[in-house]
Structure 1
Amino acid sequence: MDILTGHLVVVLVFFLTALIATIAPILLARRNESKLSSHDRCHSIIDVSNSIGGGVLLATCFIALVPLVENSYKNALLAMNSPHIDRPFAEITILSGFFLVVFIEQLVTLVQQRRANVKNAAHIQMASHEEQETLFSDEEPSSGAQSSHHGSTSHSHSHSFDAKSLLHSVILVVTLGLHTLFEGMAIGLVDNIDTLVALAVAVLFHELCCAVALGVNLSKQKISTKAAMVVCLIFSLMMPVGIALGMAVGQVNGVAGLLLTAILQGVATGTFLFVLFIEIVPSVISSSNPGFKMALMMLGCIFMTLLIVFTESHDHGQNLSASASCPDMSTVSQVSGHTPKSNDTVI
């Protein structure tokens, strides 16, 4: 299977997996009367998948992605005839990607906190104003007016709660989508089929956890089923868009293409490290059963390590057998004692 077909298969698998994993908790929660058991089941699936996926992602980062970024920088610097080939450009780019995601996360959190503070201040001011009107009013409002007032207030609160839930869902999708976009770009930049398979398996575990968590969160929000489906569709398209962007960047020829590929691969690897050490590992350590989940994480790491080592050794063996069956002309000349000249005909 060539690399283009592999990318297309990965795009289809990720899109269907994300779409089904986000929609399923919503449909289950709205079909069943007992939402608590459904959510508990989903959380159990998320915890197990998160632990195994963390180990898979750990092995993929340090055994496949970091050497891939180093090799990409080496090829770019060799094409530029740069004397600084031994400089740690790969590690610097990976760290830059890590802190870039940290900065984006903190920026989103700061914006959310400021919006919450403004809303709280507005509610306090409104409550104080209504209290003053009640204290200094000369006559009581009629019961009909009171019921009308309460009805309109309740109606407006219902609409504001729906809008707030929808806004929360959109912010959550944007936050998760940034991670997914960078992960998709990392997959799209891969030009080796075995590395593509290893990376896709590792990211699929994390993508599945994010999709189920998003579906559970949307099922708790007071939004319509149609709006929830639109949010799920947007999230499911993030990974294919990222893969398409990575593939487009990989088509850039020359030194610029090699350098741009190396930079984006490093930034995407830093994104994986952020997801691993800021999101997955702390959740595993602080869980109710950390020993069991760390064991699952180690099993995932061992599984992916063996898979990567096996595929690489298999490719190396195939390359050796191919070179043995088709020796070069220097080897032939050494064995036969004849050095081929420019006018010799090789049959």
Structure 2
Amino acid sequence: MEYLLQVKIGALLALLLLTLICGFIPARLKWFRNADGTETHRVVLSLISCFAGGVFLAACLLDIIPDYLGDINTELDARGLQISFPVPEFIIAAGFFVVLILERIVLSCQQAHGDHEERAPLMQTNGRETANGSPTGLDHDLEGSGPHVHVDFQAHSSFRSFMLFLSLSFHSVFEGLAIGLQSTDSRVLEICIAILVHKSIIVFSLSVKLVQSAVRPAWVAAYIGVFAVMSPLGIAIGIGLTEAALTSGALIQAILEGLAAGTFVYITFMEILPHELNSPEKQMLKVLFILVGFSVMAALTFLD
């Protein structure tokens, strides 16, 4: 076995093991799953969630979208396609609307079957109503510090968590593909180290989000396990393409990457950030932790 192939297989195993380790830390520790903790416990979890939000924001704006735009523009230029219509951005928008439409369909089906669990906080008003049937103290609760009222009633739904997992998994396959297609061992090691650092932070954040969404532990384990396999799968596909000397399908890969980017845009700006920022507690501290998460990923991107 040639040295380059050995390096790629080593990168595959390293990505698999590190992703599993970092992903199962929040999933297995009871501290992250404790729903009846103290106020300090809830604040710390919220700040961790804000840090994860900053991580995902940076991954969206500094990693996923730039990678996709570079790939799709390269493929369009290689085929001599000069179109005035912004095709790359349109593909991102298509991914965004696919998730939006699917989520609305899921929520409509839940309401049709009488599932109002997501809206329960709105109904919990200590039994007091005004003369016109509306609950008293609602405006006060929205502006106060009561933890039982949130503006985003669909936050942390299992559907959005699944879409977050799906979009990150797609991107992980493409990251692994980038390693598998390299022709020099030094470049393989360089990309692998960068992905190892990025993915360890992202999978930890993903696991926190899954736990907060009240996803069953068995499903959290399944999500983390599948996510851990995605980058190694991409490496294996890249190795196969390299060994077979095949170059076709790059445009399809770029289009799929764009759809995944649109999905990630939706999850980042419609689920992760609004959930924490719509809750009135510790607003400036939350913003600080979002900035810290963003800055960590931005620094890692800069060092790449």
1:299 alignment partner in structure 2:
292
Q: Secondary structure at the match of 1:189?
A: helix
1:36 pairs with 2:36:
yes
TM-score of the superposed pair, with normalisation by structure 1 = 0.58
Distance (whole Å) between structure 2 residues aligned to residue 86 and residue 67 of structure 1: 20
The range that moved more, 87-96 or 192-201, is: 192-201
- Equivalent residues of 1:14, 1:204 under 8 A apart: yes
1:24 pairs with 2:29:
yes
Query: What is the aligned counterpart of 2:17 among 5, 12, 17?
Result: 12
Distance (whole Å) between structure 1 residues aligned to residue 275 and residue 230 of structure 2: 26
Query: What is the aligned counterpart of 2:251 among 250, 255, 259?
Result: 259
1:112 alignment partner in structure 2:
110
Distance (whole Å) between structure 1 residues aligned to residue 28 and residue 218 of structure 2: 10
Structure 2 alignment gaps of length 5 or more: 117-156, 180-190
Task: Indicate how the Cα distance of structure 1 residues 61 and 199 shifts in structure 2: closer, same or farther if over 3 A, else same.
Answer: farther
> What percentage of aligned pairs have identical amino acids?
22
Distance (whole Å) between structure 1 residues aligned to residue 256 and residue 267 of structure 2: 17
Cα displacement (A) at 1:278:
0.8
In the TM superposition, 1:33-182 aligns within 5 A as: 36-37=36-37, 41=41, 43-79=42-78, 81-84=79-82, 88-116=86-114, 176-182=161-167
Task: Indicate how the Cα distance of structure 1 residues 211 and 83 shifts in structure 2: closer, same or farther if over 3 A, else same.
Answer: closer
Distance (whole Å) between structure 2 residues aligned to residue 38 and residue 8 of structure 1: 40
2:208 alignment partner in structure 1:
209
Cα displacement (A) at 1:234:
2.6
1:95-133 Cα distance to aligned partner (Å, 9 max, x none): 211221112221221121112269xxxxxxxxxxxxxxx
Task: Indicate how the Cα distance of structure 1 residues 229 and 309 shifts in structure 2: closer, same or farther if over 3 A, else same.
Answer: closer
Task: Indicate how the Cα distance of structure 1 residues 233 and 284 shifts in structure 2: closer, same or farther if over 3 A, else same.
Answer: closer
Q: How many residues align?
A: 240
Cα displacement (A) at 1:297:
1.1
1:278 alignment partner in structure 2:
270
Q: Secondary structure at the match of 1:116?
A: coil
TM-score of the superposed pair, with normalisation by structure 2 = 0.65
Structure 1 alignment gaps of length 5 or more: 30-34, 119-171, 219-227, 312-347
Distance (whole Å) between structure 1 residues aligned to residue 265 and residue 12 of structure 2: 23
- Equivalent residues of 1:198, 1:304 under 8 A apart: no
- Equivalent residues of 1:56, 1:300 under 8 A apart: yes
Distance (whole Å) between structure 1 residues aligned to residue 26 and residue 62 of structure 2: 29
1:187 alignment partner in structure 2:
172
In the TM superposition, 1:311-330 aligns within 5 A as: 311=304
Amino acid at match of 2:161: L
Name the structure with the higher helix share: 1
Q: Secondary structure at the match of 1:82?
A: coil
Task: Indicate how the Cα distance of structure 1 residues 24 and 307 shifts in structure 2: closer, same or farther if over 3 A, else same.
Answer: closer
Of structures 1 and 2, the larger Rg is shown by 1
Cα displacement (A) at 1:231:
3.2
